Amino acid sequence: MILQVTDAEGDLGKISSTEISKAYVKNTLTNKLDSFDFPDLSSISKSNFKANVEIGLKKVMSGRSTGIRPYQDIIHFEVYVTDFAKNKSNVILTDQDFIYYTLP
């Protein structure tokens, strides 16, 4: 999944082990939630920060199957970001259906 993230203050990234901004993804079908730390962005100009963030979905995709293969399901996600101050961004609900396949 690729997100476009913008932040006027630019308080995203990683400063220390306690000051890390994160992206969160929740699979609304299974309620599995996973978080991803932003990397150190100190070398990037942060005023009016804008970037694309690519997120792997393997952890939030596991755990749903009928045991019958091939298996297919439609999945939606909730996505949001937190900054250094733990402020939560708007929550995005995917409007596009992701089709999940489990093959033999």
List the domain range (segments joined by +) for residue 94: 2-102
The pLDDT tens digits of the residues spanning 16-55 come to 777 888 889 888 878 888 888 888 877 776 677 888 888 7
The answer to whether the predicted template modeling score (pTM) of the entire model surpasses 0.75 is: no
Residue among 13, 8, 5, 21 nearest 86 (CA)? 21
Contact 27, 74 (CB under 8 A): no
- The C-alpha atoms of residue 12 and residue 92 are separated, in whole angstroms, by 18
Domain count, the chain: 1
pLDDT value at 103 more than 70: no
Q: What is the pLDDT of residue 41?
A: 79
